[in-house]
Amino acid sequence: MDSIKNRIEELRRLLNEYNHQYYVLSSPTVSDKEFDMLMKELEALEATRPDLADPLSPTQRVGSDISKGFSQVKHIYPMLSLANTYSVEEVDDFVKRVKKEIIGEDCALVGEMKFDGTSISLVYENGRLTRAVTRGDGVQGDDVTANVKTIRSIPVQLQGEGWPEHFEIRGEIVLPWKEFDRLNAERQFNEEPLFANPRNAASGTLKLLNPKEVSRRGLDAYFYYLLGENLPCGSHYENMMEARKWGFKVSDAMTLLRTMEDVDRYITYWDTARKELPVATDGLVFKVDNLRQQLNLGYTAKSPRWAIAYKFQAERALTRLQYVSFEVGRTGVVTPVANLEPVLLSGTIVKRASLHNADIIRTLDIHEHDMLYVEKGGEIIPKITGVETSQRETGAGAIAFVTHCPACGTPLVSAEGEAARVCPDKYGCPPQIKGRIEHFVGRRMMNIDGIGEEMVNDLCEKGYLKDCADIYDLTADQIKSLYVKGDRIAEKILKSIEASKSMPYERVLYALSIPYVGETGAKKIARASGNIDRLMSMSEEELTAIDDVGPNIARGIIDFFADERNRTIVERLRESGLTLATETVDEAPASDILSGKSIVISGTFDRHSRDEYKQIIEHHGGKNTGSISKKTDMILAGENMGPSKLEKAKALNIPIVDEISFLQMIGEE
Ligand code: IVH
């Protein structure tokens, strides 16, 4: 008897069950500590038995660093949309119509929430999740299985019994309000663009190329549609109740409704009650319950005749525009902001709303002192959706976008194909300079405690700070000159400036405000480049070979270091003793075993990340290249190497080396 195998299987079953209790039922039966201990035990056992590896094991659900991009998959049943309406009368008409078409039989309806997320189709075979595909164009979508696997409320191994051998289930992937707020707060802090609503955040997250990041974001999923040949029941509602027993999250709001009065009551109730739900909803869906009746009603080209969506009205207010202000950010982008007469909307007072860019002002055709409609539906951030032109003052002029920077007077430029207008005077425009310094000292960057927005402003006004390198030349007297009792404050600030010198290289990279380089990007770039001198000399091709670095980021980096002023800042930071290299990089090559070899990395790995393999190759004298050609000497192939790469490698007769053999080759195994 194989006792390790048995224990591994038992642990997998237990951990799946505990995940279900925690993420679906919200009623855990074990402590976090106990859960973690079982997980550790499973990890340890799995490490001893690679032959029992399973991509669906609970240990694999945190996601790996890398994904292969998404391949397109055709849906077994096309993913249709729903006919929708904002009016209760039209829902009533729908009920009358179906009751009329199904004469002589009872016709029950199912009322359910319309979740405002991104739809997903999951395929299960023999109780195991085999594929997760986005809606795409309805006919085919992206295979996002690696990302979906990280969503803990989705069962990867079904529980209970009675599930068909092969079936599909559809639902909505959502980002709960709590996680949405957390994510946006984090993004605001990092000066990354905010997600307008949980729907955009959910679909953006699902399309991330890094499953580990997906796993961190806290996605959830609700299911509402079972498809397949041998479904357990002839009722949609009963099927969903079965699916719940197999481990799927099915909303408690799903209810059988018999009469039109039931339907109307359901609408009245949820119109307000939905605001208490942990996730965003944008309406209700009513479906004919009986599957045979559904079949008889059939489909139009776009949607089923057996269902209708009732959409909630977004909350809307009308208020007067006082004036439009134009604000300059750290990156020089000028944002128009509508300053409004304060108005109450969904419980908060709205005074300002971003107009985003010139295109939006033009499309809405906003004039001075116009009465504007402000909405806050699923959108957390108030949005101007229209103008009440009947109340326009005679002679009011159209709002024109400023042609010059409101802060420094420089003529604005607009990048080709982009709506944004930008002040190009990066080094002379005060809000840009101050913004970069504020960013540099921020908590997630150099974490210089005691210097905040106001102090950066004062130090700049006094002429003590012109760029971030000046921070390291600040004196106690300069800081003290800002305050009546400045001794203690100056001491504290100088101490934290000193401490910032040991911040790792990746933080410095992020702090520098290199266009498009965010926190995660900086980490990857730091790891791949090893030190700033190497980074400064990297070509566009070398940069885009780094995980998640696209042409925009690469250009941002090249242009940044091409500017003399930025190179001077780097030199001054170096002289001040900042960390400009990763600690692990050992400059001397470990061997020359791969000398002159051009190696392509493909697939996913267990022992090291792709970036680490890239460093290892360079460390042993080889070169990592992006695509397979006649010049490629070897392919380091992990799991799931792309089929086209495999084909090409075979055609060119290039040796394919697996992870373990590679490690043996360089003497690590
Ligand atoms: S049923 C053939 N039920 O709304 C009908 N859809 O406008 C398939 N949605 O693409 C959809 N909640 O992403 C259905 N309870 C629910 C839903 C729901 C949200 C989404 C879904 C669909 C879109 C249709």
E-strand ranges in 261-347 read: 281-288, 307-311, 315-328, 333-345
Whose CA is closest to atom 2 on ligand 1? 80
Distance 285 CA to ligand 1 centre (A): 8
**How much is the pLDDT for 642?**
78
Whose CA is closest to atom 18 on ligand 1? 114
In single-letter form, the type of residue at position 414 comes to S
Distance 639 CA to ligand 1 centre (A): 35
Q: Find the range with the poorest average confidence among 370-379, 452-461, 574-583.
A: 370-379
- The number of the ligand 1 atom at minimal distance from the alpha carbon of 118 is 13
| In the chain, % of residues over pLDDT 90 | 66
Distance 134 CA to ligand 1 centre (A): 13
Per-residue pLDDT, averaged over 203-218, amounts to: 91
Closest to 203 measured CA to CA, from 381, 70, 52: 70
Contact 39, 80 (CB under 8 A): no
Whose CA is closest to atom 10 on ligand 1? 81
Q: Which residue has the tokens 């944002």?
A: 335
- The number of the ligand 1 atom at minimal distance from the alpha carbon of 309 is 7
Q: Which residue has the tokens 């003793």?
A: 577
Which tens digits make up the pLDDT trace of 462-482? 999 999 999 999 999 999 988
The rounded distance, in Å, linking the Cα atoms of 537 and 532 is: 9
Q: Residues enclosing ligand 1, CB less than 6 A?
A: 80-82, 112-115, 119, 135, 172, 224-225, 285, 304, 307, 309
Asked if pLDDT for residue 603 goes beyond 90, the answer is: no
Q: Three-state DSSP class for 638? A: coil
Per-residue pLDDT, averaged over 222-235, amounts to: 96
Contact 126, 165 (CB under 8 A): yes
**Residue among 115, 248, 266, 288 whose CB has most ligand 1 atoms within 8 A, to mutate:** 115
Distance 68 CA to ligand 1 centre (A): 29
Q: Find the range with the poorest average confidence among 88-102, 141-155, 602-616, 631-645.
A: 602-616
The rounded distance, in Å, linking the Cα atoms of 640 and 624 is: 19
- The number of the ligand 1 atom at minimal distance from the alpha carbon of 307 is 5
- The number of the ligand 1 atom at minimal distance from the alpha carbon of 116 is 19
**Residue among 112, 121, 220, 224 whose CB has most ligand 1 atoms within 8 A, to mutate:** 224
DSSP secondary structure string for all residues of 548-560: T--HHHHHHHHHH
Distance 305 CA to ligand 1 centre (A): 13
Mean pLDDT for the chain overall: 91
**Residue among 112, 172, 274 whose CB has most ligand 1 atoms within 8 A, to mutate:** 172
pTM as predicted: 0.62
Whose CA is closest to atom 14 on ligand 1? 224
Distance 118 CA to ligand 1 centre (A): 9
Whose CA is closest to atom 23 on ligand 1? 81
**How much is the pLDDT for 128?**
96
Whose CA is closest to atom 15 on ligand 1? 114
β pairing state of 656-658 and 634-637: parallel
Active site residues: 114
Distance 77 CA to ligand 1 centre (A): 14
Asked if pLDDT for residue 517 goes beyond 60, the answer is: yes
Nearest-5° Cα angle at 259, 256 to 261? 110
Which tens digits make up the pLDDT trace of 613-649? 888 888 888 888 888 888 899 999 988 887 788 888 8
Whose CA is closest to atom 9 on ligand 1? 114
Q: Three-state DSSP class for 47? A: helix
